[in-house]
């Protein structure tokens, strides 16, 4: 049980005089609070007077108890007065602000219009930052091409190896399976009309113009785009990018240009590989299910798929590569100062890249169709 300071209570009209005796410290704080509250709750007491003449030590717990009782009395329309305060007692109470413990007024929740405006403002700021990054990357690339600036030694080859060589297996495997699946599904439907031979046309056009570039871009987004955002975001959190700027090294040329150049080379190369592997997978199904010879299959591919179709697919792959590279670089460089911001930047990179890639692919398909039949 907590010790209690000695208190003597006297009545003086509507006032209750409490004469304190002893130390007002941590061990006596709870008992003191209970005693003062019991006195202050009396209806006939309108004022509580504390006599400090016999008080010894006073610590923060005693000050807190008396300050709390004073606020409770104030809310009830009553008052608290302290008399016979020693200098060190008065100094202890002087450091307690009058509004201590009063919660700050919370701001009102923003409405729909405010949230929409804030979202649009953030989008404008982000778009300006992205455009600035694209401009600076292009400028630094020109300087490197004119040999006025140099990339870090081996950075381009290292990025190409990480983005390309390590992604060959997964891109090739998925392209092969996609080609087989499309050929099998197409053969089942086309055989009903006696047009099984057109499986080669379908596989060739779909893999070259649509599926290989699109699948490659999505795979690279999950592997490389996320990695770019995570790497740059981690460097931002650890202040490594600021350190590069302090040392006079342009972070765009040092970090982003090698990644953009590498992904520009790697994605079309992987897409081209995916085109032929997907066609090869479709050929296996056509040979086994349609009794179609390999020579006849490849002859139809060569006759139906023209050079401009390959240019169309590879051109889209370059655009997809820039989308992935700049999305990862921009969001990674904008990461905040904690670890969670790195994960958020990585997630946003993947989502934004895939959405933009599919949107751009739809635009490519629409424009090319209108130009062909216009």
User: Is the four-CA dihedral 91, 93, 96, 97 of positive or negative sign?
Assistant: negative
- Contact of 335 with 237, CB cutoff 8 Å: yes
pLDDT of residue 171: 93
Of 268, 272, 270, 276, which is closest to residue 179 (Cα–Cα)? 276
Work out the angle between the directed axes of helices 339-373 and 226-237 (0-180°, nearest 10).
150
CA of residue 116 relative to chain centroid, distance:
20
Under the banding of pLDDT at 50, 70 and 90, the label for residue 103 is low
- The residue assigned the tokens 């599904």 is 185
Phi then psi for 49, rounded to 5 degrees?
A: -110, 125
* Residue percentage of the chain with pLDDT more than 70: 94
User: Measured between alpha carbons, how far is residue 117 from residues 25, 62, 110, 124, 363 in Å?
Assistant: 54, 50, 10, 11, 29
Whole-number pLDDT of residue 43 = 76
In sequence order, the β-bridge partners of residue 12 are 15
Whether residue 146 is predicted with pLDDT greater than 60 in this model: the reply is yes
End-to-end CA distance of the chain: give it in Å, rounded. Answer: 94
- For residues 37 and 42, give the distance between their C-alpha atoms in angstroms, rounded to a whole number: 9
Tens digit of pLDDT for each residue in 239-264?
A: 888 898 888 889 999 999 999 999 99
Candidate ranges 38-47, 89-98, 307-316; pick with highest mean pLDDT: 307-316
Please state the rounded mean pLDDT for residues 29-53: 79
Ranking 110-124, 155-169, 306-320, 347-361 by mean pLDDT, the lowest is: 110-124
Q: Is the pLDDT of residue 216 over 90?
A: yes
Q: For residue 106, is pLDDT > 60?
A: no
* pLDDT greater than 80 at residue 39: no
Gyration radius (Cα) of the chain, Å: 38
d(CA 155, CA 161): 10
Paired strand residues for 79? 47
Order of strands, edge to edge, in the sheet holding 47-58? 6-12, 15-24, 47-58, 79-83
More confident residue, 109 or 345: 345
Secondary structure (3-state) at 57: strand
Residue 190: predicted pLDDT: 81
Per the prediction, the chain carries an average pLDDT of: 86
Q: Domain extents for the chain?
A: 6-94, 132-373
Q: Which residues contact 105 (CB under 8 A, 6 or more apart)?
A: none
User: From CA 350, how far away is CA 324, in angstroms rounded?
Assistant: 8
* Token digits of residue 21: 């005796």
Name the pTM for this structure: 0.69
d(CA 276, CA 27): 83
d(CA 34, CA 57): 19
Band the pLDDT of 311: cuts 50, 70, 90.
very high
**95-106 average pLDDT score:** 58
Q: Pick from 180, 156, 170, 260: which is nearest to 215 by CA?
A: 170
Three-state secondary structure along 5-28? CEEEEEEECCEEEEEEEEEECHHH
Q: Percent of the chain having pLDDT more than 90?
A: 40
- Spatial separation of the C-alpha atoms in residues 229 and 348, rounded to whole Å: 9
Residues linked to residue 172 through DSSP beta bridges, in sequence order? none
pLDDT of residue 276: 95
**Rounded to whole angstroms, what are the CA distances from 273 to 209, 233, 277, 280, 340?**
13, 31, 6, 11, 37
- Check pLDDT > 50 for residue 1: no
| Lowest-confidence region among 51-65, 84-98, 327-341 | 84-98
pLDDT at 2 over 80: no
pLDDT for position 98: 58
Q: Per-residue pLDDT for 64 more than 60?
A: yes
What sign has the CA pseudo-torsion 190, 195, 200, 203? negative
Res. 31: pLDDT tops 70: yes
Contact 270, 318 (CB under 8 A): no
Interatomic CA distance for residues 230 and 344, integer angstroms:
9
358: tokens are 């599919």
Per-residue pLDDT, averaged over 140-169, amounts to: 89
Per-residue pLDDT band for 330 (boundaries 50, 70, 90) equals very high
Least confident of 32-46, 67-81, 115-129, 311-325: 32-46
As given in the structure block, the two tokens for residue 317 are: 């792959």
- CATH code for residues 6-94: 3.30.750.24
Pick from 35-49, 122-136, 256-270: least confident:
35-49
Is the pLDDT confidence value at 90 over 90? no
Tell me what pLDDT residue 18 has: 81
Spatial contact of 345 and 332, defined as CB atoms under 8 Å apart: yes
């Amino acid at each position: 049980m907590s010790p209690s300071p000695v208190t003597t209570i006297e009545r003086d009209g509507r006032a209750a005089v409490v004469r304190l005796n002893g130390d007002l410290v941590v061990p006596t704080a709870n008992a003191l609070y209970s005693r003062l509250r019991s006195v202050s709750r009396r209806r006939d007491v309108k004022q509580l007077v504390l006599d400090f003449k016999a008080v010894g030590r006073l610590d923060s717990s005693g000050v807190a108890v008396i300050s709390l009782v004073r606020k409770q009395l104030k809310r009830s329309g009553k008052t608290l007065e302290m008399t016979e305060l020693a200098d060190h007692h008065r100094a202890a109470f002087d450091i307690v602000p009058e509004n201590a413990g009063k919660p700050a007024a919370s701001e009102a929740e923003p409405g729909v219009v405010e949230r929409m405006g804030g979202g649009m403002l953030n989008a404008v700021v982000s778009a300006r930052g992205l455009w600035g990054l694209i401009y600076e990357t292009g400028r630094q690339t020109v300087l490197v091409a004119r040999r006025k600036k140099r990339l870090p030694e081996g950075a381009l080859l290292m990025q190409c190896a990480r983005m390309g060589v390590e992604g060959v297996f997964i891109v090739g495997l998925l392209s092969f399976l996609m080609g087989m699946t499309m050929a099998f599904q197409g053969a089942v439907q086309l055989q009903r009309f006696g047009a099984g031979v057109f499986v080669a046309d379908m596989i060739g056009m779909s893999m070259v113009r649509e599926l290989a570039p699109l699948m490659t871009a999505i795979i690279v987004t999950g592997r490389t785009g996320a990695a770019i955002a995570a790497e740059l975001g981690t460097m931002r959190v650890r202040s490594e990018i600021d350190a590069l700027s302090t040392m006079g090294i342009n972070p765009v040329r040092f970090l982003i240009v090698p990644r953009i150049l590498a992904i520009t080379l790697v994605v079309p190369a992987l897409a081209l590989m995916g085109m032929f592997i997907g066609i090869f997978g479709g050929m296996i199904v056509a040979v086994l299910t349609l009794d179609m010879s390999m020579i006849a299959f490849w002859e139809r591919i060569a006759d139906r798929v023209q050079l401009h179709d390959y240019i169309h697919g590879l051109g889209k792959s370059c655009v997809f590569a820039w989308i992935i590279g700049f999305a990862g670089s921009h969001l990674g460089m904008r990461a905040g100062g904690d670890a969670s911001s790195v994960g958020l930047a990585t997630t946003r990179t993947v989502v934004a890249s895939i959405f933009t890639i599919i949107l751009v692919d739809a635009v490519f398909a629409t424009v090319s169709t209108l130009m062909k039949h216009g």
